Amino acid sequence: MTAQKITITSAEVIDLRVPTSDAMLGSDPFHKMPDYSSAVLHLETDGGLRGVSVVFTVGAGTDWICHGINDLCQLIIGTTLEDFATAPVHLYRRLIDHHQLRWLHDGVFRMAAGAVINAMWDLWAKSLDKPLWKLLVDLEPEFVADCIDWRNISDALTRDEAIAMLQDRRANVGKRELEMSELGPKAYCTAGWLGLTNDQILATIRKLQDQGFDSFKLKVGQDSQRDVERIQFMRDAIGPDCNLMVDANQYWGVEEAKRHVEAYRSFGLKWVEEPIARDDVLGYIELASTFADADFGFACGEHAASPVIFKQLLKSGAIKYCQIDAVRVAGVNDVMAIILMAAKYGVPVCPHGGGIALCNMIQHYGMWDQIAVAGHSDTQLVEYIDFLQEAVESPVATKAGCYVTPSAPGWGLEFLSAFVGKHRFPDGEIWNTRAGSRKGAAFEA
């Protein structure tokens, strides 16, 4: 796929924060008062197109990521889209293996690198007037394989295996694309937020059911007895045939998780999400073994900081659902590697959504996975939260419990400029009128 010779001329990085903690939206046991936020990157070019990406955060710390993105952008201003699109792994390595910056590891560094990489993919897709998923679907198997850094993962999946797998799906890609031309991946929603009463949860479920959803999640990680009561309440409310999942947001240690989860055996749960720390691979293996005969499997990944962590979770069979995040690892290149590994090990890709604009991004990965990698839609659920969509030009939509297939070019991630102006931190009007204690890191629950 040829790319035009478009040069990156400048970068703007915006610290965008929404005071969602005012209404206690999206809280969990650790993130008690999140202010849904985003480090937004605009790569401006001489071709009139803009490459856009976002890194979702929960408030304080967005500036850390903005600082990093600004630094990395020194490395791409003056480069061309053609350079990038010829071999995207070159930019990936220039950033992730930068001989000095690589000392900074995962977390802020990998997320900032992902922002730059994702903005370049956005620009490429826009230059072809394709949504991102369509660009990915149209890539040749060898090209996809060449986007990936195989150094640390080829004990789980080799380049040749990846190519063979993609080739194998190739015959059906046209058919799958047609099948998904209107309705995209099946979606699920969190109905049981920690802050909600039973009545509020019930109202949320009914509203979602009216919209066609049949898969629901509940937050746990409080008092065990109360958690179990809430699971029972949710199961009663949705009936035996709907999917029910629970999410502990890493709240427990391994032994503690065993005790809590033991009480969850009788509710026909689909998965138990993030029972323990994001990087505790052996802990996940131990839990999987302890609950090998349970109905549910374990799910995680939204906080897994690198493809190496995913490799271990997938290869060992520790997780039964692979929850990629769109902005935690180093962009499209890393996520491609993870989706391919999940396919080899037969683990459904169930991306993490929510926050600001995560759903707008993950729908593309769901499409690529279900058309070209897994090649089916039989087992995956893609998270969906109807939240802050009024902030973007191309809101995510659902129909009959599925994502409506995205059609805007690139990620479709352009924020409305009025929204950006208002929520820019700390000078937008939402923030500059607040007292100091409601700002930044100093604001503590």
Binding site for its own copies (CB under 8 A): 30-35, 57-61, 63-65, 67-68, 71-72, 74-75, 94, 97-110, 150-155, 252-255, 276-283, 286, 303, 305-306, 308-309, 311-312, 315-316, 440-445
Smallest gap from residue 65 Cβ to its own copies (A): 8
Which one is catalytic: 130, 134, 186, 219? 219
- Helix pair angle (88-96, 331-344), 10° resolution: 100
352: annotated active-site residue: yes
CB atoms inside a 10 Å sphere around CB 138: 14
What six digits make up the tokens of 236? 């009663």
Cis-peptide into 240, omega within 30 deg:
no
Tell me if residue 134 is catalytic: no
Q: How far is the CB of 428 from its own copies (least distance, A)?
A: 18
Which residues are CB-neighbours of 326 under 8 A, at least 6 positions away? 56, 118, 335, 351, 352, 358, 361, 362, 365
Q: Minimum distance between the CB of residue 91 and its own copies, rounded to whole angstroms?
A: 13
Range 144-147, long-range pairs (CB < 8 A, 24+ positions): 144/336, 144/340, 146/87, 146/89, 147/88, 147/89, 147/92, 147/332, 147/333, 147/336
Q: Report in angstroms how near the CB of residue 221 gets to its own copies at its nearest.
A: 12
Q: Judged by CB, which is closer to its own copies: 140, or 255?
A: 255
Q: How far is the CB of 211 from its own copies (least distance, A)?
A: 29
Catalytic residue among 270, 352, 423, 439: 352
3-class SS at 185? strand
The alpha helices in 211-318, defined as continuous H runs, are 224-238, 254-262, 281-290, 307-315
Contact 89/333 with Cβ under 8 angstroms? yes
CB 40 within 8 A of CB 116: no
Residues with catalytic function: 219, 352
